[in-house]
Amino acid sequence: MRPEYRYALMNTQTPHPPVLSMRNISITLGGRKILNSVSLDVERGELKVLIGPSGGGKSTFLQCMNLLVTPDAGSVSIEGASVNPHDKKALCRLRQDVGMIFQDFNLFDHLTAVKNVAIALRRVKGMSREAAEERAMHELGRVGLTDKADLYPAHLSGGQKQRVAIARALAMDPKVILLDEPTSALDPELVGEVLAVIRDLAKSGMTMIMATHQMDFATALASEILFMEQGNIIERGTPGSLLAPDSATRTRDFCTRLADM
Amino acid sequence: MLRSEKRTHRLLRLYIPPDSGWRGTLSALSGFLACITVFCCEKGMPEFFTTLNSLIPQFFDKLLVIWEALPYILGGALVTAATIVGALGLGLILGIPMAVGQIYGPVPVRLFVRLYVWFFRGTPLLVLLFLFYFGLFQFIGLDVSAFVASCLVLGLTSAAYQSQIFRASISALPMGQMKAARALGMSDAQALRNVILPQALRLSIPGWSNEFSILLKDSALAYALGTPEIMARVNFVATRTYTHLPLYIVAAILYFIITLIGLYFLRALERRARIPGYNM
Ligand SMILES: Nc1ncnc2c1ncn2[C@@H]1O[C@H](COP(=O)(O)OP(=O)(O)OP(=O)(O)O)[C@@H](O)[C@H]1O
Ligand SMILES: [Mg+2]
């Protein structure tokens, strides 16, 4: 979509459209309905937490948000402008605005930490090598990894890899960051360092949507918790309302069982 | 050819160990002894010595033939080297897009690559050489030398094999690499260029070394088109000087040396391209 068109759309709508808005997303994969017309709006500065049993569709939903997976039906809008999933240029622009953190890091194995962060700045944003690497060093500093800049992913711990991945996403100046179980592949003692970085991001007002099973973290920071099961958001609300000791919600039930394990 | 000479050939053939290591040497030695025993029993000692006598002066004759023909034969080695550099290069240039097309391309592209690979892997190289040089190239009015023709045919064949090497390497990369690249806003072409191919090509070096050494030996078939490469020149000299065995040994040694040099450079490339801490 051309920029002027984007502005035209923004002006006709509310003064502050949601940063990211998913409307009636449905998708069928391998003959099974994975997402069943789910919708979600994220306002600036919010942290939405997706929880739910394995196979509930959290990852698929997150990947529909930056159109890594093309939904069969429904629309994705960023700041009020809906994105055509078949327009390659618009896709690339959407994905620059929507950062993504994966469960298994997905650092580029052939590049050092600093080059991992710099590569998209150079190739996508067209920055010079010096400018890109300077920016990359700044982002690595933000996640506390200045001294690991020249190490290859194979020489980083899981927690360090995930922090590099966060720096890589931040370097693109995203409007929203999607995190798909960012600590699930980590040894327990490394979870803390990654959550600390995400907590700082949330406190600094970064808009985020995160799938996680870290309920203490979610309870403390989430603006809203969404419980997903079998491709539906079956419960949603503030942590306080969903997890109150006297509430008989599926979410609370699920969290109790999580805690028992 | 002299009778004694023929016999020498048979004797010499037994000199060559069937396989390397002390076992091979031992069996060659015992074979040699057995041969002498049989020879002596059949012909008697005197003829054995006359054979041996005639063998030694001929040995120097043959060295001289090799020495004089060497520049000519080494020229053939250059032609062979040029052939495989051209063929490997063509195979590389065609093989990479074919591998990418087979994995990421639309259905017609995938189908084309599969057909192409099926055709070139399923047809003997000699048939392909004749088919293209005497058939197809003439049919479409392409007037090329035997050298260019063998480069093209070997290259097209190698492209089929190389595409499968690259395809395997690309498939071996975790899906997440492409996803992460796309998630950063890279187009598919950018992701391929910056993320997928740099890793896949590194993974391909061992397979590619294999392809090099196979192609080098297959290049001897270019002789059939009249390309003036090692085999053609060795054969030319051999038939005119009746020096077959020593010259074919020279040919074998030349192929061996070219293989070693090529593999040495590819090994060096592999070391240089190694990603620290990453097991390939
Ligand atoms: N490409 C695909 N083809 C077929 N089925 C798929 C595909 N991708 C995902 N699925 C199915 O979709 C369902 C939802 O998967 P998804 O990964 O979104 O769940 P999840 O909530 O993230 O689970 P987890 O907590 O295990 O990560 C699963 O049953 C999975 O098997
Ligand atoms: Mg998941």
CB contact under 8 A, A124 and B174: no
Nearest to B194 among A119, A153, A168 (CB): A119
Structural domain containing residue A16? 3-260
User: Which residues are found with C-beta within 5 Å of the ion, ligand 2?
Assistant: A 59
| Test site for ligand 1: of A28, A29, A212, most ligand atoms within 8 A of the Cβ | A29
Q: Is the CB of A206 under 6 A from ligand 1?
A: no
Decide: B129 and B222 in contact? Cβ < 8 Å: yes
Q: Is the CB of A60 under 6 A from ligand 1?
A: yes
State how far the alpha carbon of A109 is from the alpha carbons of A215, B266, B279, in Å.
Answer: 31, 22, 11
Taking 60 as the threshold, does the pLDDT of residue B15 lie above it? no
Residues B237-252 have pLDDT tens digits of: 888 888 888 888 888 9
Q: DSSP character for B274?
A: P
Decide: A149 and A114 in contact? Cβ < 8 Å: yes
Decide: B116 and B166 in contact? Cβ < 8 Å: no
Atom of ligand 1 nearest to the CA of A61: 18
Taking 70 as the threshold, does the pLDDT of residue B31 lie above it? no
Nearest to A100 among B183, B194, B199 (CB): B183
Q: State in Å: Cα A231 to ligand 1 middle.
A: 10
Residue B53 is predicted with a pLDDT of 61
The A224-229 sheet, strands edge to edge: A98-101, A176-180, A208-211, A47-51, A224-229, A232-237
Taking 70 as the threshold, does the pLDDT of residue B19 lie above it? no
Q: State in Å: Cα A99 to ligand 1 middle.
A: 21
A94: nearest Cα among A165, A175, A162, A16: A175
A186: nearest Cα among A108, A103, A261, A258: A103
Residue A87 is predicted with a pLDDT of 93
Q: Which are the contacts of B204, defined by CB distance < 8 A and separation ≥ 6?
A: B165, B166, B169
Q: Which are the contacts of A239, defined by CB distance < 8 A and separation ≥ 6?
A: A218, A219, A220, A222, A225
Task: List chain B domain ranges.
Answer: 3-44, 69-273
Residue B145, classed as helix, strand or coil, is coil
Nearest residue (CA) to ligand 1, atom 7: A29
Widest distance between CA atoms in chain B: 87
Tell me the pLDDT of chain A averaged across its residues.
Answer: 90
Q: How far apart are CA A209 and CA A179, in angstroms?
A: 6
Q: Is the CB of A212 under 6 A from ligand 1?
A: no
Q: Helix, strand, coil: what percent of chain B each, to 5?
A: 85, 0, 15
How many CB atoms sit inside 10 A of residue B142's CB? 13
DSSP bridge pairs for A232: A229
pTM: 0.82
Lowest mean pLDDT among A119-133, B113-127, B226-240: B226-240
Residue B8 is predicted with a pLDDT of 40
Q: Which residue has the higher pLDDT, A2 or B110?
A: B110
Nearest to B187 among A92, A108, A119 (CB): A92
Tell me the pLDDT of chain B averaged across its residues.
Answer: 84
CB contact under 8 A, B180 and A108: yes
Residues A159-213 have pLDDT tens digits of: 999 999 999 999 999 999 999 999 999 999 999 999 999 999 999 999 999 999 9
Which chain B residues touch A if contact means CB-CB below 8 Å? 174, 176-177, 179-187, 190, 194-195, 198-199, 202, 275-278
Residues A8-52 have pLDDT tens digits of: 455 555 567 899 999 999 999 999 999 999 999 999 999 999 999
Decide: A247 and A100 in contact? Cβ < 8 Å: no
Count contacts between A and B (CB, < 8 Å). 77
Residues B96-126 have pLDDT tens digits of: 999 999 999 999 999 999 999 999 999 999 9
Number of structural domains found in chain A = 1
- B200 neighbourhood in chain A, CB within 8 Å: none
Burial class (CB in 10 A: 0-12, 13-18, 19+), A165: buried
Pairing of strands A20-29, A32-42: antiparallel
Architecture of the domain defined by B69-273: Orthogonal Bundle (1.10)
Q: State in Å: Cα B269 to ligand 2 middle.
A: 39
Nearest residue (CA) to ligand 1, atom 6: A29
Mean of the pLDDT values across residues A233-247? 86
Decide: A45 and A205 in contact? Cβ < 8 Å: yes
Q: What is the number of the ligand closest to the CA of A57?
A: 1
The domain that holds A208 is classified in CATH as 3.40.50.300
Atom of ligand 1 nearest to the CA of A56: 21
Mean of the pLDDT values across residues B84-94? 95
Taking 50 as the threshold, does the pLDDT of residue A1 lie above it? no
Q: What is the number of the ligand closest to the CA of A34?
A: 1
Q: State in Å: Cα A229 to ligand 2 middle.
A: 12
- B178 neighbourhood in chain A, CB within 8 Å: none
Q: State in Å: Cα A190 to ligand 2 middle.
A: 20
Residue B9 is predicted with a pLDDT of 41
Taking 90 as the threshold, does the pLDDT of residue B197 lie above it? yes
CB contact under 8 A, B186 and A168: no
Q: What is the 3-state secondary structure (H, E, C) of B33-46?
A: HHHHHHHHHHHCHH
